[in-house]
């Protein structure tokens, strides 16, 4: 699944999706309330999934360091691990 990196996602360190993507995220993550996240090959630990506000925190130090030409997150789940890469 691919999600655009919004300005607030980059600034505050979240993977943010809109309500229209909620169905796809439920399909990807099931009923998990937390998931282990690997961001661009680096383990950032177990993160809570905020279903109410459609977001997962990965930390602003990772997202602010991304170059401006990077515009989207690519999410893949392997078991209880969420792999997030950028493009």
Query: What is the tens place of the pLDDT at every residue in 24-83?
Result: 999 999 999 999 999 999 999 999 999 999 999 999 999 999 999 999 999 999 999 999
pTM across the whole model = 0.94
Q: E strand or H helix at 42, and its extent?
A: strand 42-50
Q: Tell which residue, 80, 68, 43, has the closest CA to residue 58.
A: 43
């Amino acid at each position: 699944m691919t999600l655009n990196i919004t300005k607030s996602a980059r600034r505050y360190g979240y993977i943010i999706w809109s309500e229209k993507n909620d169905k796809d995220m439920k399909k990807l993550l099931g009923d998990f309330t937390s998931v282990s996240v690997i961001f661009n090959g680096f383990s950032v630990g177990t993160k809570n999934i905020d279903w109410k506000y459609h977001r997962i925190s990965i930390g602003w130090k990772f997202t602010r360091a991304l170059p401006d030409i990077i515009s989207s997150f690519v999410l893949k789940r392997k078991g209880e691990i969420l792999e997030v890469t950028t493009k």
